Chain A
Amino acid sequence: MNEMQHDDVLKKLNSIFQEVLGNEEIELRDETTAADIEEWDSLTNIRILVQIEQDFNISFSSAEIADIPNVGELVRLIVARIN
């Protein structure tokens, strides 16, 4: 994977998380999981996914929606979809 693309996606993802969760202090890293961010629960997770789908113009599968282990995986998924 192209490092540049990874970093760009992570950056954009960070602002989506900040916006959707209403918390400007969020700093995502690859190993960040839902347990690390208080506002990231099953409901806000849906808001985040919908926003990602809209902003990156991609579409997740049913299986992907249900299972996102950490931010790194999410970034990899987005990059794969974009390409």
Chain B
Amino acid sequence: MSIVRMNKISAIGLGTVKAELISELMDLGIVEISSQDSKLTDPDWISYIERDGNENEVLKLDSKISKINTVIESLEKYDNSKSPIFKTRKIISSGEFEKTLSSKDKIEEKVEHIFRLIIELNDLITEENKITANIISLKPWVGYSIPIELGETNYTSIFIGVVPNILGVENLKSRIEEKSKNCVVNLIGSDKDQNYLSILCVKTEKEDVYEVLKQFGFNAVIFKDIEGTAADNIVQYEQEIKVISEKKSSVESEISTFVMNKGDIQLLYDYLLIERDKLKVLNSMLKTKKTFYVNGWIPERSKKSVESVLNKYECWYEFEEPQEGEEYPILLDNSSFVQPFESITELYSLPSSTNVDPTALMSIFYFIFFGLMLADVGYGLIMSIGCYVILKKFNIEGTTKKMFSMFFYCGISTMFWGVMFGSWFGDAITAIAKVMFHTDFVIKPIWINPIDEPMTLLIFSFIIGIIHLFIGMGVKAYIIVRDGHPWEALFDVGFWYGLIIGLALWLFGNSVIPGSAAVGRWMSIIFAIGLILTQGREKKNIFSKLLSGILSLYDITSYLSDVLSYSRLLALGLATGVISSVISVLGSLGGDGIFGSILLIVVLIFGHTFNIAINGLGSFVHAARLQYVEFFGKFYEGGGDMFNPLMKKTKYIKITKEVI
């Protein structure tokens, strides 16, 4: 129920067994290898050792992996089988894994083949785009019947180009006529921006004509590598496109014949990932001519299994406790109920190794808060059943699995509070009974209906909030005592406990236990004086000691706002309940009879789907906020690094040791 204690492990062994050792450690998956950069600059070490590892090999494997990734992605595009909602790793036995790998060369050949096809396909697509662009640029010249490459005859110059169509063509023609009598300007076509013109003039007058054209913003159009008329060329291009698209579909169909090999290729991908990681870890190791040195972290409880492996390969090794205050990687270990809630802790930040794992305490309150805010039997049931089915049906892992298990538990809490508040899909059952069966049927709440008695629930929220805060402060006291400062725990936490309880009694005590207000008043005064005297203890002179002491009482406002923050438990609970009744009212508007019943069912389904989505999200966010801001704020220190052991980090398959 806490952070797993780590030991530092160092080992030295012969270079000949290195590869096998790494491979076995990877199978165990419980050793995190640390980088050794600091030793490489340490003068005591530098004369004996050098960095292990081969960057080039790693890069080579990386490029191979990215190639296979491209292949898998394009195969997925042509895979028509239904893809599952959750991507899960396929479980295969190590025997099966080895068997498939025995034909590794064949698979690699296939990958090469598919990769070539993909390149071919890409080339065809580029070609197609180029031709399409050509067609578009030729389109305006369809009406131009002279071969495009013809620039001149013996006595005439021929050229084509565009002018912006704001200035009229007639205007242009008349201006050219002024300069030259022997010039023909033809309007081939026009679109919303430009006029497309062809000009034919006597060679000697070409300069003059050009001069005029320039004034009209003329831009000559020159087609390279094109012969014949525009229309002929377009026809030819279109034929080429037809050929290309035929080729394209034949290449595509060839690629899609490989879809059935996707499984093998994914296996190869994972195999290469494992091999790459084996090589990569060498970068964090040191070597001499004949030996290697490795250093890392290992959970204290798993020492035995690593010891036996190291003994097998005749390595020298040593385990070390972490030094005082030394940070080590964080692995959380919790009971099966608490474990799913680790995802909430992870979302915030893992604890630093000098702090504590808050998950166990937090999980109970998260469980209560979530249920209290959603509080509906129907919603809880849908959540729990949905999560249960997903967890059973799909082999999901990691944080996603934790999330679903967490919502499974939260669903149970939601049902519990739904029963307490008498909310079964809001009051849908009452509405159905009224519209369809003309009877009055009300499910009574076991405790209270929060809409009728909000004050009761508000006070309950504040009480549960104060308990939550006090536990947070208690954890802070625990950490301070653990670190050897029991007096500080008394001053910083104990006095505040006293002051807050005293104030609460002073203000509200008489309505619960007559006469307790007087006790509360004296408690408040004593503990307030205690705080004034102790909170300035760090300061040097007496005045600033007193001043800081008095100022520390100002913190009472922050405790007040923390407690008020728990009113969201009531507010969000009300939101769910009231929207549910709005849905019922809207659904009942159709009156009774067939039409009314159908309307009611439709409105109920849509309404409650909306409500569960929006208020489920709200409950998730606000339950987390109460933990992160109010609870964690009292003691928590994040920033731990997750324990990241050397293991088979595969993407598509999960290799089991046993033969299935």
Q: Do A and B come from one complex?
A: no
Residues in A lying within 8 Å of B, measured CB to CB? none
B interface vs A, CB < 8 Å?
none
